[in-house]
C-alpha cells in the first residue's frame, strides 16, 4: 500500500536513526538508500480561480533515506504551490507544478489548467438605435451596448437579411450596397442553446439611392529609390475611396520613360521599371473625377559596399545575390553575412558562391524564420572555411540537393543551426574530390526528405569526403529511402546521431527501408554512433533495417540507450538488420507522443517512458 509523503518522512527519520546506530556499531558501514525516482498521484488538474487542491508525491523506493522534496511552479501568476504540494489557482492560464527530489534531482510534473467562471451577456442594443438611415456607399463600424458590463464572452455574430442592400462583417462593419431596407442583427455567440432564448439586437437600416463618386486616390509610396541591379523593378499600389465607388478604374503614366516606365499589373497595381539614371514622376489618375496621386522615382548608381553584409529583399534572385557576393569580394570583403528578412518568403533559385569567399553566414530570424527556396552551389577547385545556415526555413523545392560542394572544393565546417529543412533530395551533396572537416545539423527539423537524407557522397573512384557528420537535437519526419547515402569517400568518415526524434507516420515513395547506406568495399572506413534517440511511426508497414548490407565484420552500430515504439517496423529478417540493443517500448507512437500526426512530439504526461527528458529531441522535453 502506498504511503503519503508525511508518513514516509516519519519512516525516513526512523531509518536515519537506525542507520546512525548501525554505522557506529558496525565500523561505519554505509547503509544510505538512494532515491531512484518520484511519482505524482495526478498528472493534470483543472481548477477554478481561487481553488486550493493538494497533490501527493511518492519517492521511490519508499524506504529511500532522503525523502526531501522541492515544489515549484512554472508560472506563479497562474498557480502556485507550497512546500507540502498544495496548489492555489490564481489566474486564468496554464502552469506546470514540478516536484523534485533533493537526492538525485529526479523530477516530474502536473499540468494545471486554471479557468474562470464565465459571465454571459443578458442584453444587447445598438448605439444608433432601432432604425438608421445612410447613403449608398456608406460604411461604418456599428457599436453595441452590452449588459452586464462585466460579461466575459463578448463575441457577437452578425448577419443582414438582405445582403444586396447592406452587407455586414463579423466585426460589425456595415457596407451600404444598394438602395432599400435591410435589418442587421447582432447575436451573443453563446446564447440560444439548451432551450434558452437567444440574446440579440436589431436595427433597420434604410439605404438612400444615389451615385457613389470617387473622393480620393493614394499611392503606397510617394518616393521610390531604384538602381539598375538590385532594385530595377518595384510595385506601386493605388487605393481608391470610398470602397463602394461605382467607377474605381485608374490609369498610370510616367513623365520620363527614358528613366522609368510604368505598366499596370492588376486593377490597382502597377510595375515600375528603371532604365537609366535620373528622375521620373509616376502618376495615377482615376477615371471618375480625375483624382490623382504621384510617386517620384530616383534611379541612382549602385553604391560601393560599405561592409560585408548583404540584406536580401524579396525581389532578388540567385543571380543578383551572386553578383552582390562578387561585388563584396572585389571590394576586399571575404567573410560575408547574407541576411534574409524575418517572416518573408523568397524564391531565389540557384545561388553560386564564388572563389574568394572565406566564410559565409546565411542568416534568418530565430523568432520568425524566413522561408527560402533555393540551391547553393560552391565553386569548384576553391577553398572555403566556415559555411553557416541559421534560423531559416530552407527548401530545394524538388528532389534535388540543397547545398552542393563542387569538384575539388575544400571546406572546413558546414553548419545548419535552428533550420527547417524540407523538400530536397539531400541537405549536402559532395561531388568527387571535394573534401571537408565536418557537416553539422543541430536544433533543426527535417521533413519530406526525398531520397538521400543528410549527406550524399558521389559514387566514383574517389567521391567527396567529410571527416564527421553530426545530427543532434533534431526532429526528422517523412524521410524517403535513408538517412545517409555515403559511397567511396576519400577517407574515413564518422557519423554521430545524438538526441534525435525520428517518425515516419505513413509510407513514403520511394520507401524508407534502412537508416545508413554505405558501399561494401569502403564500409570499413566508416563508423556510426547513435545515442539517446527515439524511432517511431508505422512507415506504412515497410520494415526498416539499420544498414543496407551486412557490415558486421568491419563496423559495429549499437542503438543502446535509444527507444523504438511498439509500432516501429524494425526489420528482423536477418541478424544484421535490427537496430541492435535499442529498447522496444510497449507504447505505440500515438500513445507516446501528444500529436505526432500534426508534428507535436512532446511526451504524453501519462506515458510511462524511462527516456523522458533524456532521449529524443530536447525541444520536446517537459522543461
Bridge-based pairing state of the strands 37-40 and 545-547: unpaired
Domain assignment present for residue 376? The answer is no
Q: What is the DSSP string of 137-205?
A: T-EEE--EEEESTT-S---EEEEES-TTTEEE-TTSEEEE-SSEEEEEEEEETT-S-TTPPPPEEEEEE
Q: What is the pLDDT of residue 304?
A: 64
| pLDDT (0 to 100) of residue 459 | 62
Cell 457577437 -> residue: 156
Tell me what the mean pLDDT of segment 606-620 comes to. Answer: 95
Residues 283 and 250 grouped into a single domain: yes
* 470/606 same-domain check: yes
Do 605 and 535 have their domain in common? Answer: yes
192 & 151 share domain: yes
CATH of the domain at 143: 2.60.40.1080
Indicate if 486 and 571 belong to the same structural domain: yes
DSSP, collapsed to helix, strand or coil, labels residue 17 as helix
What number of other Cβ atoms are within 10 A of residue 431's Cβ?
21
Strand ranges inside 216-358, DSSP E: 216-219, 223-226, 233-241, 250-254, 260-264, 269-274, 278-286, 292-299, 309-312, 335-340, 345-353
pLDDT at 579: 94
Residue 329 lies in a domain: no
pLDDT at residue number 435: 87
Q: Are residues 579 and 476 in the same domain?
A: yes
| Lowest pLDDT segment from 242-246, 268-272, 499-503, 505-509 | 505-509
The answer to whether position 441 is within a domain reads: no
| Helix, strand, coil content of the chain in percent (nearest 5) | 10, 45, 45
Residue 168's CB is within 10 A of a number of other CB atoms, namely 19
Mean pLDDT, rounded, for 104-132: 90
Q: Which of 208, 230, 259 is the last residue of a domain?
A: 208
In a domain, 378, yes or no: no
Which pLDDT value is given to residue 3? 35
Model pLDDT, residue 462: 59
Co-location of 106 and 251 in the same domain: no
List, for residues 490-521, the tens digit of each pLDDT value. Answer: 556 889 999 999 999 887 777 888 898 887 66
**Last residue of some domain: 261, 278, 299?**
299
Q: Which of 158, 185, 208 is the last residue of a domain?
A: 208
pLDDT number for residue 537: 94
Predicted local confidence at residue 56, as pLDDT? 95
Contact 436, 408 (CB under 8 A): no
Query: At 431, is the secondary structure helix, strand, or coil?
Result: coil
- Confidence grade of residue 11 (pLDDT, cut at 50, 70, 90): very low
Calculate the alpha carbon distances from 346 to 72, 80, 372, 395, 424 in Å. 44, 46, 5, 10, 16
pLDDT class of 1 with cuts at 50, 70, 90: very low
Q: Which of the four pLDDT bands, split at 50, 70 and 90, describes residue 21? A: very low
End-to-end, the C-alpha distance of the chain in Å comes to 31
Under a CB-based contact definition with an 8 Å cutoff, are residues 493 and 524 in contact?
no
Query: Which position has the grid cell 518595384?
Result: 234
Q: What is the pLDDT of residue 524?
A: 60
**466 and 615: one domain?**
yes
Q: Residue 230 — very low, low, confident or very high, per pLDDT cuts 50/70/90?
A: low
Which pTM was predicted? 0.55
- Domain count of the chain? 4
Tell me, yes or no, whether 403 lies in a domain. Answer: no
354 with 377: CB under 8 angstroms? no
Q: What is the pLDDT of residues 151-183, one digit of tens each?
A: 877 889 999 999 999 999 988 999 999 999 999
Give yes or no for a contact between 548 and 518, defined as CB atoms under 8 angstroms apart: yes
Sheet (strand 465-472) strand order: 309-312, 335-340, 359-363, 386-390, 410-417, 435-442, 465-472, 493-498, 526-531
- Both 470 and 603 in a single domain? yes
Give residue 233's pLDDT: 85
DSSP 213-254: ---EEEES-SEEEE-SSSSSEEEEEEEEESTT-S---EEEEE
Reference 172, options 131, 126, 130, 133; nearest CA is 126
Q: Radius of gyration over alpha carbons of the chain, in Å?
A: 33
Question: Region 391-403: what's the mean pLDDT?
Answer: 90
CA atoms within 13 A of residue 212's CA, in its CB half-sphere: 23
Task: Tell whether 527 is covered by a domain.
Answer: yes
Same domain? For 43 and 130 the reply is no
Residues 469 and 616 in one domain: yes
Three cell numbers written together for 166: 447592406
- pLDDT for 588 equals 96
Q: Cell 570499413: give the residue.
A: 524
Is 49:77 a contact under the CB 8 Å cutoff? no
Which range of residues forms the domain containing residue 188? 123-208
Q: Quick one: which of 419, 343, 342 has its CA closest to 376?
A: 419
Q: Is residue 94 part of a domain?
A: yes
Q: What is the per-residue pLDDT across 411-425, written as a single tens digit (0 to 9) for each?
A: 999 999 999 999 998
Mean pLDDT (whole number) for 439-468: 83
Which pLDDT does position 511 carry in this prediction? 85
Report the percent of the chain where pLDDT is more than 90: 64
Other beta carbons within 10 Å of 409: 24
Do 597 and 512 belong together in one domain?
yes
For residue 461, is it left (φ>0), alpha (ψ between -120 and 50) or beta? Answer: alpha
Residue 531 lies in a domain: yes
622 falls in which pLDDT band (50, 70, 90)?
confident
pLDDT tens digit sequence for 67-92: 999 999 999 999 999 999 999 999 98
Give the mean pLDDT of the chain: 88
Query: Does position 191 have pLDDT exceeding 90, yes or no?
Result: no
Residue 442 has pLDDT above 70, yes or no: yes
Amino acid at each position: 500500500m502506498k504511503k503519503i509523503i508525511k508518513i514516509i518522512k516519519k519512516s525516513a527519520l526512523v531509518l536515519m536513526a537506525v542507520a546512525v546506530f548501525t554505522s557506529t556499531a558496525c565500523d561505519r558501514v554505509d547503509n544510505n538508500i538512494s532515491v531512484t525516482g518520484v511519482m505524482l498521484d495526478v498528472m493534470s488538474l483543472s481548477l477554478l480561480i481561487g481553488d486550493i487542491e493538494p497533490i501527493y508525491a511518492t519517492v521511490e523506493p519508499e524506504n529511500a533515506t532522503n525523502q526531501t522534496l522541492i515544489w515549484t511552479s512554472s508560472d506563479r501568476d497562474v498557480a502556485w504551490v507550497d512546500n507540502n504540494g498544495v496548489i492555489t489557482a490564481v489566474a486564468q492560464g496554464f502552469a506546470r507544478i514540478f516536484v523534485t527530489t533533493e537526492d538525485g534531482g529526479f523530477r516530474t510534473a502536473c499540468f494545471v489548467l486554471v479557468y474562470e467562471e464565465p459571465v454571459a451577456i443578458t442584453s444587447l442594443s445598438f448605439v444608433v438605435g432601432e432604425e438608421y438611415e445612410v447613403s449608398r456607399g456608406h460604411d461604418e463600424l456599428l457599436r453595441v451596448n452590452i449588459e452586464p458590463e462585466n460579461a466575459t464572452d463578448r463575441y457577437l455574430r452578425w448577419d443582414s437579411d438582405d445582403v444586396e442592400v447592406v452587407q455586414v462583417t463579423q466585426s460589425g462593419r456595415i457596407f451600404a450596397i444598394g438602395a432599400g431596407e435591410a435589418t442587421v442583427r447582432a447575436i451573443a455567440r453563446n446564447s440560444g442553446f439548451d432551450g434558452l432564448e437567444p440574446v440579440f439586437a436589431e436595427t433597420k437600416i434604410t439605404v438612400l439611392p444615389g451615385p457613389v463618386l470617387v473622393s480620393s486616390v493614394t499611392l503606397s509610396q510617394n518616393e521610390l529609390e531604384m538602381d539598375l541591379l538590385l532594385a530595377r523593378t518595384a510595385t506601386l499600389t493605388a487605393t481608391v475611396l470610398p470602397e463602394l465607388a461605382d467607377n474605381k478604374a485608374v490609369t498610370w503614366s510616367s513623365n520620363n520613360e527614358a528613366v522609368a516606365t510604368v505598366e499596370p499589373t492588376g486593377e490597382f497595381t502597377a510595375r515600375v521599371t528603371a532604365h537609366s539614371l535620373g528622375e521620373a514622376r509616376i502618376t495615377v489618375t482615376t477615371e471618375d473625377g480625375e483624382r490623382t496621386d504621384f510617386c517620384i522615382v530616383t534611379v541612382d548608381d549602385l553604391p560601393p559596399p560599405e561592409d560585408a553584409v548583404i540584406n536580401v529583399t524579396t525581389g532578388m534572385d540567385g543571380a543578383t545575390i551572386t553578383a552582390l557576393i562578387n561585388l563584396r569580394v572585389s571590394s576586399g570583403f571575404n567573410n560575408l553575412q547574407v541576411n534574409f528578412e524575418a517572416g518573408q518568403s523568397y524564391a531565389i533559385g540557384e545561388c553560386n558562391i564564388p572563389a574568394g569567399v572565406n566564410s559565409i553566414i546565411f542568416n534568418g530570424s530565430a523568432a520568425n524564420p524566413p522561408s527560402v527556396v533555393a540551391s547553393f552551389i560552391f565553386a569548384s577547385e576553391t577553398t572555403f572555411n566556415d559555411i553557416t545556415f541559421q534560423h531559416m526555413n530552407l527548401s530545394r523545392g524538388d528532389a534535388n540537393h540543397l547545398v552542393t560542394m563542387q569538384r575539388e572544393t575544400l571546406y572546413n565546417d558546414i553548419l545548419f543551426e535552428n533550420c527547417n529543412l524540407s523538400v530536397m533530395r539531400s541537405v549536402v551533396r559532395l561531388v568527387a574530390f571535394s573534401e571537408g572537416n565536418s557537416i553539422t545539423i543541430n536544433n533543426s527539423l527535417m521533413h519530406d526528405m526525398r531520397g538521400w537524407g543528410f549527406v550524399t557522397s558521389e559514387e566514383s573512384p574517389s567521391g567527396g569526403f567529410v571527416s564527421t557528420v553530426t545530427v543532434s537535437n533534431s526532429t526528422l519526419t517523412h524521410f524517403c529511402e535513408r538517412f545517409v547515402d555515403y559511397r567511396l569517400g576519400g577517407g574515413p568518415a564518422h557519423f554521430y546521431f545524438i538526441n534525435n526524434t525520428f517518425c515516419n507516420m505513413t509510407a513514403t515513395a520511394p520507401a524508407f527501408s534502412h537508416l545508413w547506406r554505405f558501399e561494401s568495399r569502403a564500409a570499413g572506413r566508416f563508423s556510426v554512433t547513435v545515442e539517446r534517440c527515439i524511432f517511431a511511426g508505422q512507415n506504412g508497414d515497410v520494415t526498416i533495417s539499420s544498414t543496407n548490407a551486412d557490415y558486421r565484420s568491419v563496423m559495429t552500430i549499437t542503438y543502446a540507450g535509444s527507444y523504438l515504439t511498439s509500432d516501429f517496423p524494425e526489420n528482423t529478417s536477418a541478424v544484421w538488420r535490427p537496430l541492435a540493443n535499442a529498447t522496444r517500448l510497449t507504447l505505440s507512437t500515438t500513445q507516446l507522443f501528444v500529436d505526432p500526426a500534426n508534428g507535436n512530439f512532446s511526451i504524453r504526461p501519462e506515458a510511462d517512458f524511462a527516456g523522458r527528458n533524456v532521449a529524443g529531441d530536447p525541444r520536446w522535453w517537459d522543461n
